Amino acid sequence: MVHAFIMVKTAAGKSEGLLANIRDFDRASDAHIVAGTYDIIVEVDAEEVYDILETVSSNIQGLEGVTETKTYIAMD
């Protein structure tokens, strides 16, 4: 099992709507609006690293209002 944290930057005023959409993804185990460099942090669980990459590129980055993502794979 692979666990990852995906940092998401959003366009102004889009965080709350995007949060609801992101929480609906099957692989998203948790998601929160946060203060700081990024607007949303998403926790993702998947069988393989490829599945994490697919979630980011096909699902999250495809949402209108997402301007940038950064993915961190948990090592523990």
Question: Nearest-CA neighbor of 57 among 72, 41, 43, 68?
Answer: 68
Give the tens place of pLDDT for each residue, 22-66.
Answer: 999 999 999 999 999 999 999 999 999 999 999 999 999 999 999
pLDDT tens for residues 5-20? Answer: 999 999 999 999 999 9
pLDDT value, residue 29: 96
Its pTM stands at: 0.93
Sign, Cα dihedral of 14, 45, 59, 70: positive
